[in-house]
Amino acid sequence: MSVPARAAGSRPAPDPAGPLLEVKYLRKHFPIQHGFARRVVGQIRAVDDISFSIREGETLGLVGESGCGKTTAARCILGAHAPTSGEILFRTAEGQVVDLAGLSPQRRRPLRRQIQMIFQDPYGSLNPRMPIFDIVGEPLLVNSMKDRRQRVERVAELLRLVGLRPEFMQRFPHAFSGGQRQRIGIARALALHPRLVVADEPVSALDVSVQAQILNLMLDLQQKLHLTYLFIGHNLSVVKHICDRVAVMYVGKIVETGTTEQLYKAPRHPYTAALLAAVPVPDPRQRAGAVELRGEVPSPANPPSGCYFHPRCPHAVDLCRTQAPVLRELSPGRFVSCHRAEELVLPGVA
Name residue 147's amino acid. Answer: D
Half-sphere exposure of 180 (CA within 13 A, CB side): 14
Tell me how many degrees the CA angle 254-258-262 measures, rounded to the nearest 5: 135
Cα dihedral 10/262/70/60 (nearest 10): -20
What is the binding site for other proteins (CB under 8 A)?
A: 7, 9-10, 65-66, 177-180, 207-213, 215-216, 219-220, 234-238, 240-244, 260-261, 264, 274-288, 292-294, 296-297, 349-350
CB of 272 to other proteins, least distance (A): 12
Which CB, 288 or 317, lies closer to other proteins? Answer: 288
Strands in 166-302 per DSSP E: 196-200, 228-233, 245-250, 253-259
Which CB, 157 or 292, lies closer to other proteins? Answer: 292
Q: Are 53 and 23 in contact (CB under 8 A)?
A: yes
DSSP 315-350: T--HHHHHSPPPPEEEETTEEE--TTTTT-------
* CA pair distance 115, 77, nearest whole angstrom: 9
Which CB, 84 or 211, lies closer to other proteins? Answer: 211
Which CB, 95 or 284, lies closer to other proteins? Answer: 284
CB of 95 to other proteins, least distance (A): 28
CB of 278 to other proteins, least distance (A): 4
CB of 153 to other proteins, least distance (A): 27
Which CB, 27 or 240, lies closer to other proteins? Answer: 240
CB of 271 to other proteins, least distance (A): 9
